[in-house]
Amino acid sequence: MGKKPASSLTSNDRRLEELASLNQLAKSYLSRKPDSLPDSEQSLLQAIGKYSVRGKRTRISWRVAAFIGGLLLSSFCLWFFIPRNVLPAVLRLSLIQILPYWDWTHLKDVPCLWKKPEDVPETVQNTTVIPDHCVVCEDLIGIYERPGGTLNAVQVGDDFLVEQLPLILRKVFMVEPEGPSLRLNPILKLHLDDESLIPCRFLTNLRTKQAFQFNTFLHKVQRKDLQVPWFGFWEFCEHHHIKECRPIIPRPPELPTMLEIADSFWFFTASNFTSIKYKFVDLSYSVFWYTQMSGSSKIRLSPKPPCHEVCHSMDAELHPGDALLTTTDLFEVSWMPGPEGEVLAVAAGAL
């Protein structure tokens, strides 16, 4: 950058330029003839140099203070003069806009973005030291399966639920293909008739005019002329919603009486949707009871860290009348709808 014209320089600018020139001259003079000057003159030149450095540091400090002050003032204005919901809305719209360039959606399915050192199993002389709670699933290569009616509630509770072992019960409840509770449209109509049924979690592949609005999704998928395949699953967390939906889910005699379905309720739905990737189900309770009402679905149980280093992921396909009971302390649950026809499954969670 060129120097300012002499007429535009303030007295402070002139003083700073003079000090800088004098400091440069002093440095040059000292570097050429350090021993030819008396001690008093050398001390004077060194004092001038220190004064110039101190002035430079002062200017930097003022600039940093001005930047921090401006940042604080901007934060104050944003916090008190802009509505609270504006910034989250701008952030969400920005994230939607960058989806074609960076798919960030998988990050919400990651339980831990940064692994702690203690989450990694210790290795001593090439031998993995297995954490105590991971020995439960160390030799588990598949989900236990039993035909319906072969176990009682005590066996299911003591041998599987307490031991944290996943269990599939085949044909554990009767399926009436034309029954209203097993068809997709009556279930969707039930939601539309009660507008207070608003889920706390909701995921679908459809993009509605009102982004991610649940009621708009329900109206859209009920159209008989809908041309696109779709899937959707959602969770009800409010107690009165769970109480209203509880009669829908089958409760066979094999289900332990200690398991109270009162904490969460899920619907899993799809129509002709060919999926190539499992959809992560974000569960916030310790027991998951899943029942397949119509169509088919695939369930994947993936061990949580640190057990993922020693335990296997397990897949299973469920058909109408099948049910899955698992704990979520060791496993994460993912869901994939069958590719043909309508798919309907309901699930419940308990602490």
In a domain, 93, yes or no: no
In a domain, 170, yes or no: yes
* Run of H or E residues at 306: none
Order across the sheet with 314-318: list the strands.
Answer: 279-281, 331-337, 297-303, 314-318
Same domain, 206 and 308: yes
Look at residue 211 in the predicted model and tell me its pLDDT: 47
Q: Both tokens of residue 269?
A: 């739905």
Q: Both tokens of residue 6?
A: 């002499």
Assign 99 to helix, strand or coil.
Answer: coil
- Nearest to 204, CA basis, from 249, 267, 246: 267
Same domain, 345 and 261: yes
In a domain, 96, yes or no: no
In a domain, 283, yes or no: yes
C-alpha–C-alpha distance, residues 142 and 299, integer Å? 12
Backbone angles phi, psi at 343, to 5 degrees: -125, 130
C-alpha–C-alpha distance, residues 140 and 334, integer Å? 18
Residue with tokens 């057990």: 307
C-alpha–C-alpha distance, residues 239 and 258, integer Å? 19
C-alpha–C-alpha distance, residues 140 and 136, integer Å? 8
In a domain, 316, yes or no: yes
Same domain, 63 and 131: no
Query: Which CA distances in Å does 133 have to 34, 125, 137, 164, 268?
Result: 74, 22, 9, 10, 31
Sequence-distant (6+) residues with CB within 8 A of 248 are: 181, 187, 346
Look at residue 49 in the predicted model and tell me its pLDDT: 65
In a domain, 315, yes or no: yes
Q: What is the pLDDT of residues 316-341, one digit of tens each?
A: 999 999 999 999 888 999 999 988 88
- Nearest to 336, CA basis, from 266, 265, 281, 264: 281
Look at residue 177 in the predicted model and tell me its pLDDT: 57
Query: Which CA distances in Å does 118 have to 16, 114, 177, 283, 305?
Result: 56, 12, 50, 23, 10
Same domain, 343 and 294: yes
Backbone angles phi, psi at 44, to 5 degrees: -65, -45
The secondary structure of residue 161, as a DSSP letter, is I
Number of domains comprising the chain? 2
| β-pair partners for 170 | 147
Buried b (16+ CB within 10 A) or exposed e, 269-307: bbbbbebeebbbbebeeebbbbbbbbbbbebbbbbbbbb
Q: Which domain holds residue 54?
A: 6-81
CATH number of residue 181's parent domain: 2.60.120.10
Sequence-distant (6+) residues with CB within 8 A of 87 are: 78
Same domain, 67 and 122: no
Same domain, 20 and 126: no
C-alpha–C-alpha distance, residues 62 and 20, integer Å? 19
pLDDT below 50 — which residues of the chain? 1, 119-120, 123-126, 180-181, 211
Same domain, 202 and 315: yes
- Angle between helix axes 184-193 and 214-221 (nearest 10 degrees) is 140
Q: What is the pLDDT of residues 186-196, one digit of tens each?
A: 777 777 777 77
Look at residue 52 in the predicted model and tell me its pLDDT: 67
Look at residue 44 in the predicted model and tell me its pLDDT: 63
What sign does the dihedral 127-129-134-135 (CA atoms) show? positive
Q: Do residues 320 and 295 touch, judged by C-beta distance below 8 A?
A: yes
- Would you mind telling me the total number of residues written for the chain in this entry? 351
The secondary structure of residue 2, as a DSSP letter, is P
Same domain, 77 and 124: no
Backbone angles phi, psi at 119, to 5 degrees: -75, -10
Neighbours of 76 (CB within 10 A): 10
